[in-house]
């Protein structure tokens, strides 16, 4: 393994950490409706638990309402129950086969709680990135110990990995700020 391999691996893993953080942010609801909110809700379908998107068409009716159209008759009540029992705080209303899921407006207190959740998730993402930096630096030290690289190369690789870490942490900070602004707006 070379320094280039170590950097490339660290960069790929840091990019994956940022992607995972983006997905985590998508689950945190703001005042607006978003079909992805229901991705984590699972419903029983012929004995196995599956995401709602695999048994129904999930779309937006308007900016504050999600519509769920089950593909099979009889799935409506099961989907409605699953949404109600999820920790999203949503209250679906059935209209024939169609389920309407209105987004309740966020209170000021709830908005503050959500910004804390966003910051906490951001800190976890930053810790993951820092752990990747530590692992990459340890691999470089191992190469130095095995005399495969010089001390200068090892120091240079640590500097480059630190720059990569700083860029990734800055990207996470930007995502946190954008999500907080989205939550506090409306």
- Whether 176 contacts 24, CB under 8 Å: no
**Amino acid 136: pLDDT:** 92
Q: Mean pLDDT over all residues of the chain?
A: 86
Cα–Cα distance, 181 to 167 (Å, whole number): 21
Cα–Cα distance, 6 to 134 (Å, whole number): 11
pLDDT tens digit sequence for 34-87: 777 777 788 888 888 888 888 888 888 887 888 888 888 888 888 888 888 876
The pTM is what?
Answer: 0.68
Q: Which two tokens stand for residue 26?
A: 């998508």
pLDDT tens digit sequence for 120-132: 889 999 999 999 9
**Amino acid 31: pLDDT:** 66
Cα–Cα distance, 1 to 136 (Å, whole number): 11
């Amino acid at each position: 393994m070379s320094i280039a391999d170590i950097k490339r691996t660290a960069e790929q893993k840091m990019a994956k950490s940022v992607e995972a953080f983006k997905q985590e942010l998508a689950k945190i609801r703001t005042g607006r409706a978003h079909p992805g909110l229901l991705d984590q809700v699972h419903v029983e379908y012929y004995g196995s638990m599956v995401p709602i998107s695999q048994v129904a068409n999930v779309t937006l009716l308007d900016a504050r309402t999600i519509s769920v159209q089950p593909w099979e008759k009889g799935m409506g009540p099961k989907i409605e129950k699953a949404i109600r029992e999820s920790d999203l705080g949503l209250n679906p209303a059935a209209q024939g086969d169609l389920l309407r899921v209105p987004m309740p407006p966020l209170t000021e207190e709830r908005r503050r709680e959500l910004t804390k959740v966003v910051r906490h998730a951001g800190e976890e993402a930053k810790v993951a990135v820092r752990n990747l930096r530590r692992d990459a630096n340890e691999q470089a030290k191992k190469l130095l110990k095995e005399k495969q690289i010089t001390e200068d190369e090892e120091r240079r690789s640590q500097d480059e990995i630190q720059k990569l870490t700083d860029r990734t942490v800055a990207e996470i900070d930007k995502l946190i700020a954008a999500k907080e602004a989205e939550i506090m707006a409306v």
